[in-house]
Structure 1
């Protein structure tokens, strides 16, 4: 498994929230749902994504934005348009005064807006629980990224738009998988840009550091030392330590510790996983050793993390 596949493989939507918005200006939707990740695709017209902390980003036809939560943001026809609607956790919609809003009659399933002929049409897909996404992926992403229609040619946006208008048996599973595919395709395009991927991903092509990274990522349970890793890739210990730190930004064993704990965070989401079994899979000698390291880095115990991933807390 290559590094990017390992990073993206953790995206697994489960009953994701999907909405087609058909809007005429002026519009501004204040998003306060605290979702861990949201994908927005422009099917018609234009819109702006306005983070609370960051520069606004314009979306045009074919553009896809990926937003990492839980921070709030606004989607509007113009950055200066004041919010009119608030989206709360659980996708509850209200006016600014807290009055509930319901779906708009006549627009079809999973569709909301000002009317059937709105000049702006956008698709929104929201991963609602942290457990649907790899911690490795979330930590690798900025708060907001945009893949423009000029960057890629993908049939996934029109396919998702078509499927969102249907209400057939099994439709939820179809939409979940299409959302996963759209996210993966957009991120693969974004990671290919120079300077966007994590340092370890960019270093994967180095003839010395690349093989060392693959060994650590594919076999984290092995009792690695820098000397053993250097022997495997055929360089001196000092040469590996120096080049690895230069390209990845941290020493090999520091990277390995972080990798083991992010893997553990993902494995703990599995329903039948035990702390002991996860500890063995990621290279810790006992559940106590994993628990101590996990709490030190993540601030909670493995068991508390698993409960939080399941409930979205």
Structure 2
């Protein structure tokens, strides 16, 4: 059980946009903070990326990958100058696509955007730093994926969109893995999942949330005594095992409720409760309202469903 893969699958993570730009200075692009996760890389030349303070701009050179978490606007430009940055629509009008340009003085850069659904998706995004610059050495697989993306965008052929979607998926997983490895804000489950003492129990919880797990059973999976397991689990995850299990079940329940595809009885069974009443009681203890009421409020507040 790969917990990161499980989270990405549950969030229905999907690439929204990936574009290749070939531009001559002066140029600059301003992107909205509504993009949940942006990915930027330079194929030729160099670019500067920053949020609200150009003095903190990061220089991006070929092979680098920059991740930007949603929130404030961010800027990509030939120099750290906010005055040079235009909204996306104006940027496209002023810099029409010239994907086959062979001008060595031009800057060639790629911009991607990713969307994540539900609370599982939000937890992945929230665990990332606001900005992260990854440097890929020539032998790094990340470097190879970036080069492949650039070639595909520059010379599209049959099946072009499918290739881009798959490459963006690969880039996303490699980037998030590198980000979590480097970041002190990485999710606790990411680090604990690789711990041979806790990994088996943690993987079991995520793989089978519907199973009626007990602390002795989870301790047995990890090859520890019950007290030692409980102590190590709480130290690493910040919660007792049963509280972690309940929180994970409630996270899954919220995402199922938003989806509308499952009945309350089906959600109860998928999240480890013996009946809709038992599920409703647990949900109400956790959220203060019954699941049906929570679902109605959530759906009515979502403008995309109107």
TM bucket, shorter chain: 0.7 to 0.9
Deviation readout 1:99-147 (Å, 9 max, x if unpaired): xx637446149x9xxx96653211111125646x834422332222222
**Aligned partners of 1:288, 1:108: CA distance in 2, in Å?**
55
**Aligned partners of 1:45, 1:184: CA distance in 2, in Å?**
26
Unaligned stretches of 5+ residues in structure 1: 88-92, 96-100
Unaligned stretches of 5+ residues in structure 2: none
- Shift of the 216–105 alpha-carbon distance from structure 1 to 2, 3 Å rule, reads closer
Structure-2-length-normalised TM-score: 0.78
Q: Which residue of 2 aligns with 1:206?
A: 195
Pairing 1:121–2:108 present = yes
Indicate the structure with greater helix content: 2
Q: Which residue of 1 aligns with 2:186?
A: 197
The count of corresponding residues between Structure 1 and Structure 2 is 298
- Shift of the 305–76 alpha-carbon distance from structure 1 to 2, 3 Å rule, reads farther
**Aligned partners of 2:288, 2:50: CA distance in 1, in Å?**
34
**Aligned partners of 1:183, 1:239: CA distance in 2, in Å?**
36
Q: Which residue of 2 aligns with 1:102?
A: 93
**Aligned partners of 2:155, 2:297: CA distance in 1, in Å?**
39
Pairing 1:187–2:180 present = no
**Aligned partners of 1:230, 1:23: CA distance in 2, in Å?**
58
**Aligned partners of 1:144, 1:291: CA distance in 2, in Å?**
35
**Aligned partners of 1:289, 1:170: CA distance in 2, in Å?**
49
Name the stretch that deviates more: 54-63 or 173-182.
Answer: 54-63
Q: Of residues 240, 253, 256 in structure 2, which corresponds to 1:251?
A: 240
Greater relative contact order structure (CA < 8 Å, 6+ sep): 1
Quote the RMSD (CA, aligned, Å): 3.9
Classify the secondary structure of the residue corresponding to 1:173: helix
Q: Which residue of 1 aligns with 2:280?
A: 288
User: How do 1:103-252 and structure 2 match up within 5 A?
Assistant: 104-105=95-96, 107-108=98-99, 119-128=106-115, 130=117, 134-150=121-137, 152-154=140-142, 155-166=144-155, 170-193=159-182, 195=184, 197-252=186-241
Structure-1-length-normalised TM-score: 0.76
Name the stretch that deviates more: 256-265 or 285-294.
Answer: 285-294
Name the stretch that deviates more: 202-211 or 262-271.
Answer: 262-271
**Aligned partners of 1:267, 1:159: CA distance in 2, in Å?**
36
Classify the secondary structure of the residue corresponding to 2:25: coil
Q: Is the 8 A contact 1:38 1:66 kept in 2?
A: yes
